[in-house]
Amino acid sequence: MQCTFILSQVRKKLNDPNATAWTDVDALIPALNEALQALASYRPDAASITAMMLLVAGTRQTLPSNGVRLLKVIRNRGVSGLSDAGRAIRKADMLIQDSFTPDWHEAEGQTTVDEYFYDPLMPKEFYVYPPAPVSPIIGIDISYVRVLPTITASSDTLPVDDYFAPALQEWMLYSIWCGDDEQNPNYAAANAHLQTFFNLLQIKTASDMATNPKAVKAE
């Protein structure tokens, strides 16, 4: 879907089909970018991507430069990440690992990762065990929340699934009208659109519970 579809739908609701009061450049496109940021915050799965990642030597790993938050480590991809099939990697509890194998960060590097450890308070990094070797370089598949591209023109492609278009429109209307005085009818309309945005996405806590990976206790 091109962004022009969303912009035209919002113009209709603003009763401004010719972009007289609210132009694309000054109002609608900035509101759409704001809506995309809000969407990624409340529904991180909307901005998720699965990709192969090459590991650095050791246990500590960092997301790619476009990464915002890890969702899941999926499987091994072999030397240089060239294997199309690999052993699954499970999420484990670091406190348990620290208790039973306190020197696990110093273990010898292996070409197959068994477990990963993730703390949501440090969303851009995670740890793997056994540690990744210096050589050969190995790859894994991960799922993570990415930085969404900034929309600069109405002809740009919407960077999220079309399913989220109605919620984006609601946030845009909220953003455009929320600056009005409380006595202005648009103020109440803005809050109504904000509530509709949350209703369409369901609430942040619910979406976080749906996307946050669950730990598997070590046996």
Q: Supply the pTM of this predicted model.
A: 0.80
pLDDT over 80 at 215, yes or no: no
pLDDT value of residue 183 = 56
Confidence at residue 150, expressed as pLDDT on a 0 to 100 scale: 96
Query: In this structure, are residues 137 and 85 in contact, taking their beta carbons and an 8 Å threshold?
Result: no
Per-residue pLDDT tens over the stretch 65-116: 999 999 999 999 999 999 988 999 999 999 999 999 999 999 999 999 999 9
The better pLDDT of the pair 187, 162 is held by 162
pLDDT, averaged across the chain: 90
How big is the chain by its Cα radius of gyration, in Å?
Answer: 22
Torsion of CA 92, 83, 109, 124, to 10 degrees: -50
What crossing angle do the helices spanning 165-177 and 185-201 adopt, rounded to 10°? 150
Round to whole Å and give the CA distance between 149 and 160.
10
Whether the per-residue pLDDT at 217 is higher than 80: the answer is: no
What whole-number distance in Å separates Cα of residue 70 and Cα of residue 120? Answer: 8
**pLDDT-based confidence at 180, cuts 50/70/90?**
low
